[in-house]
Amino acid sequence: MNLMYSSENYYVVEFPGSAGIELVDKTTGRGGFLEGAVEVKFRARMANLASEEPEPSTESVDEFLAHYDALLMNPVSLH
């Protein structure tokens, strides 16, 4: 598991060996697993965002991630 991004509002984790990314909205306690075409598009957009100069602010990254909130259906629970 590789942490790609973490802020006060979101975290994004990739799982090596699997074509998928977990996105969690910390404020709502909901998450989702992005895979397939959605994961590929998400990964490309994150790479584009990361390559911007000057470095993108936390607010701009969180704003980008908010576009995926409709996909976050699974409640997050601790084991």
- Confirm whether 79 is domain-assigned: no
Report how far residue 77's alpha carbon sits from residue 57's, in angstroms, rounded to the nearest whole number: 29
Helical (H) or strand (E) element with 67: none
2, HSE (Cβ side, Cα atoms, 13 Å):
9
3-state secondary structure at position 48: helix
Report how far residue 52's alpha carbon sits from residue 68's, in angstroms, rounded to the nearest whole number: 20
- Confirm whether 29 is domain-assigned: yes
- Confirm whether 22 is domain-assigned: yes
- Confirm whether 56 is domain-assigned: yes
Give pTM, 2 decimals.
0.87
- Confirm whether 78 is domain-assigned: no
Kindly tell me if the per-residue pLDDT of 77 is higher than 80: no
CB atoms within 10 A of CB 63: 12
What was the pLDDT predicted at 79?
Answer: 43
Structural domain span for residue 69: 2-73
Structure confidence by residue, pLDDT tens digits, 40-50: 999 999 999 98
What was the pLDDT predicted at 12?
Answer: 96
Strand pairing class (30-35; 2-6): unpaired
| The total number of structural domains that make up the chain | 1
